[in-house]
Structure 1
Amino acid sequence: MEVKHPEWLQIQSDNQTLYGYNQEWYKTSFQRTRGCGPTAAAMLLLYLNKRVIESLPYQGHSIPAITKVLEDVWNFVTPGWLLGLNSTNKFCKGMEALLRHYRLAWRCHVLSIPMFRSSRPSLTKVVKFLEEGIASDCPIAFLNLHKGREIALESWHWIVLIALSYDAEQKRYIATCYDGGRLVTFDVGLWLETSSFGGGFVYITV
């Protein structure tokens, strides 16, 4: 299953397709090194903004237009100096402040993955959460504090999940994500089982 319009988060630039936005579009080096969280937040917001006839004052789909959105989102979804945006709760607190500012009653849905494996939700629960988000036509922000044995991922990083499929032969769930212009796939169960620090998932409904 997949969100209905993944192309809304794709950009054509220099005769190539970029999958998702890039934190490198921020102005300062501080923002560029810590900006993956607000970049993911901007992707969620701009996708929903297309669905609900531009409820947010964000216009255009060019890199310069998206860069303006990134700067606005940074004012609310603001990474810390040392650890960046290192929790789903901080992400949602910033998103809720932005939504209040623009007088929108959109809602954050959160599934946190604790550091201690014994406290983590089951793969079944994680898959159910992801399926509910995608079925609602909502991209899902994914915080990966440690990639574990999943080599396709980058630790301490936010990316955006747009699809989930089941590989019946290998009995695993494969997530498809956009990350800084790249298309990334990973095994959800392998990450859940082997990540040392966990992370979490967030989506927004209108």
Structure 2
Amino acid sequence: MKIRRPEWLQVESDNQILYGYNQGWYTTSFQRTRGCGPTAAAMLLSYLNRREAEPLPYTFHSIPAITNVLENVWNYVTPGWLLGLNSTEKFCKGVEALLGEFRLSWQCHRLSVTASRSKRVSLSQVVKFLEDGITSDCPIAFLNLHRGREIALESWHWIVLVSLSYDASESRYMATCYDGGRSITFDLGCWLDTTRFGGGFVYITTGKN
């Protein structure tokens, strides 16, 4: 299963398709090194904004226009100096502040994955959360604090999940995410089993999902 219009999160540049927004488009070096969280938030908001007839004053017709959105989202979804935006709670707090500023009653939904394996949510719980988000046509922000054995992932990083599939031949769930222009696919169960520090997932609903 996948969100209905993943192409809305793709950007054409120099005759190439970029999968997702890039934190490298921020204007300062600090933002570029820590801006993955607000970049993921901007992607979630831009998708819903287009789907819901643009209640937010954002435009996404060019990289400069998207950069303006990134800068605005940064004002609310703001990484810290030391640890960046290292929890789903901080992510949602920032998104909710932005939604309140624009008087939107959209809702954040989050699922945290703890560092403690004995207290960690199960794969079935994660799959259920992701399926609920995708079925509602919502891209999902994914916080990966440690990539475990999934070498396609970058540790301490936010990316955006657009699809989830089940590989019956190998009995595993494969998630596809957009990350700074790349489309990457990884084994969700392997990440959940091998990540040292956990992470989490967030999606936003509009009340019309």
How high is the TM-score relative to the length of structure 1? 0.99
Q: Which residue of 2 aligns with 1:144?
A: 144
Displacement of 1:59 in angstroms is 1.7
User: Which 5+ residue runs of structure 2 have no aligned equivalent?
Assistant: none
How many residues are aligned here? 206
Q: Using the aligned pairs only, state the percent identity.
A: 75
Give the counterpart letter for 2:115 in structure 1.
M
SS in 1 for 2:18: strand
Distance in 1 (alpha carbons) for counterparts of 2:33 and 2:61: 23
Q: Which residue of 2 aligns with 1:23?
A: 23
How high is the TM-score relative to the length of structure 2? 0.98
Are residue 79 (structure 1) and residue 79 (structure 2) matched? yes
Give the counterpart letter for 1:25 in structure 2.
W
Distance in 1 (alpha carbons) for counterparts of 2:162 and 2:61: 18
Distance in 2 (alpha carbons) for counterparts of 1:53 and 1:181: 25
Q: Which residue of 2 aligns with 1:88?
A: 88
Alpha carbons of 1:151 and 1:60: their partners in 2 closer, same or farther (altered >3 Å)? closer
Q: Which residue of 2 aligns with 1:59?
A: 59
Distance in 1 (alpha carbons) for counterparts of 2:60 and 2:172: 38
Distance in 1 (alpha carbons) for counterparts of 2:147 and 2:67: 28
Displacement of 1:124 in angstroms is 0.4
Displacement of 1:61 in angstroms is 2.2
Displacement of 1:105 in angstroms is 0.1
Displacement of 1:60 in angstroms is 3.3
Q: Which residue of 2 aligns with 1:103?
A: 103
Structure 1 residue ranges, 4+ long, deviating more than 3 angstroms after superposition: none
Aligned residues: CA RMSD: 0.4
Distance in 1 (alpha carbons) for counterparts of 2:53 and 2:168: 38
